[in-house]
């Protein structure tokens, strides 16, 4: 009887590796950055799909990204001091801070446009070091595509403002690339590094008679998404956004499916916890993009949405 019980128990364990993993001591990881509810649930879903359940076999230490850049290094060091098995860094600022904080703990970054340009990895295929992750851009002129979409909404647009945060190293890198390009439209830059500067940025765009605006996505604008959308409406500026958080109220969103990136990040967490080195995992690019159009916002701005855009849209919000 005991022999049969032993064999049955062994077979069950072999057939259910996730159950076996759940019975071992929980693993500890860190999350540096702030996730909106959709991204957070997508990330947890990606972990659950691979048998990792927060609070059971996985402990997660959260450290929100500091609103003031001066606090970022201290928060990164605080997370490293807990010696987690790996750290997920959400957004460029978090990834840059974590690279400075540790060269030994594996780091998976998510939502970083150009990790090579930022010096996070040596290349996408061979990241080297202790970092790998998921980009938000693919090679090509992404800003150019956003300009094209805005000019379909506003055919006569000759001046499109760029809303940027110079505290964001990724924004500085993108602006440096823009200087080398020759556009058929003027691209005045308006800046906001703090929430209280957003009003000034939009007022500046309006004072410069911008026909439309591209809002560069980052921690500040995502946290202040409702306010950013309201300011665009107040100043009657057709604006295009990078992240889906702006779709409810914003005119148009064109960018990667961020939830999909965080879901896929759960797979890299799983592989690293099982022993794969971060340097052996290539940096992956987005495979899903979304074009979302808000018809109510278009109507409020007095814009007619061209059929060519409606046909291409992944979602149309009525």
Q: What is the pLDDT of residues 171-196, one digit of tens each?
A: 887 777 776 677 889 999 999 988 99
In a domain, 80, yes or no: yes
Task: Name beta bridge partners: 27.
Answer: 58
What is the pLDDT confidence band of residue 304, given thresholds at 50, 70 and 90?
very high
Q: What is the mean pLDDT of the chain?
A: 89
**How many helices (H) and strands (E) would you count in the chain?**
13, 12
Do 198 and 50 fall into the same domain? no
- How many other C-beta atoms are found inside a 10 Å radius of the C-beta of residue 192? 25
Q: 128 or 168: whose pLDDT is higher? A: 128
Evaluate if residue 1 carries a pLDDT over 50.
Answer: no
pLDDT at residue 66 in the model: 65
CATH of residue 224:
3.40.50.2300
Distance of CA 181 to the CA centre of its chain: 25
Tell me the pLDDT tens digit for each residue of 90-105.
Answer: 988 899 999 999 999 9
CA–CA gap between residue 69 and residue 93 (Å, rounded): 9
Q: Who has greater pLDDT, 49 or 140?
A: 49
Domain span at 163 = 142-256+290-317
Q: Are residues 122 and 262 in the same domain?
A: yes
Quick check: pTM over 0.75? yes
81 and 222: one domain?
Answer: no
Residue 77 and residue 89: Cα distance in Å, rounded?
A: 13
Q: Are residues 125 and 265 in the same domain?
A: yes
Q: Same domain for 263 and 294?
A: no
Q: What is the Cα–Cα distance from 149 to 312, expressed in whole angstroms?
A: 11
The three-class DSSP label of residue 88 is strand
CB 32 within 8 A of CB 97: yes
Tally of domains within the chain: 2
Q: What tokens appear for 8 in the block?
A: 């049955």
Q: Looking at the structure, tell me whether residues 188 and 269 fall in a common domain.
A: no
Q: Show the DSSP H helices in 128-181 as ranges.
A: 142-153, 169-179
Higher pLDDT, 5 or 251: 251
Instruction: Give the confidence band of 23 by pLDDT, cuts at 50, 70, 90.
Output: low
The model's confidence at residue 67, banded by pLDDT at 50, 70 and 90, is: low
160 near 150, Cβ under 8 Å?
Answer: yes
Strands 239-241 vs 212-215: parallel, antiparallel or unpaired: parallel
């Amino acid at each position: 009887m005991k022999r049969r019980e032993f064999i049955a128990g062994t077979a069950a364990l072999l057939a259910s590796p996730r159950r076996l993993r759940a019975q071992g001591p929980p693993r500890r990881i860190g999350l540096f950055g702030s996730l909106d509810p959709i991204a957070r649930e997508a990330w947890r879903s990606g972990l659950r799909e691979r048998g990792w359940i927060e609070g059971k076999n996985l402990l997660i230490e959260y450290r929100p990204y500091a609103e003031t850049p001066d606090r970022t290094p201290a928060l990164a060091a605080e997370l490293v001091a807990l010696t987690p098995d790996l750290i997920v860094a959400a957004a460029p600022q978090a990834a840059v801070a974590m690279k400075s904080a540790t060269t030994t703990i594996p780091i998976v970054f998510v939502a970083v446009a150009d990790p090579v340009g930022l010096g996070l990895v040596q290349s996408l295929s061979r990241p080297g070091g202790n970092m790998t992750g998921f980009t938000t851009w693919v090679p090509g002129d992404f800003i150019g595509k956003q300009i094209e979409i805005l000019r379909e909404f506003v055919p006569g647009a000759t001046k499109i403002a760029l809303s940027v945060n110079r505290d964001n190293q990724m924004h500085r890198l993108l602006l440096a690339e823009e200087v080398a390009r020759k556009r058929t439209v003027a691209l005045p830059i308006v800046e906001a590094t703090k929430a209280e500067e957003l009003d000034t940025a939009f007022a500046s765009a309006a004072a410069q008679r911008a026909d439309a605006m591209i809002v560069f996505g980052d921690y500040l604008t995502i946290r202040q998404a409702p306010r950013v959308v309201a300011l665009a409406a107040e100043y009657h500026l057709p604006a295009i956004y990078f992240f889906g958080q702006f779709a409810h109220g914003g005119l148009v969103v064109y960018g990667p499916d961020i939830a999909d990136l965080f879901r896929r990040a759960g797979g890299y967490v799983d592989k690293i916890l099982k022993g794969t080195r971060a340097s052996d995992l290539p940096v992956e690019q987005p495979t899903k993009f979304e074009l979302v159009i808000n018809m109510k916002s278009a109507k409020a701005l007095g814009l007619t949405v061209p059929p060519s855009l409606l046909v291409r849209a992944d979602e149309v919000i009525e």
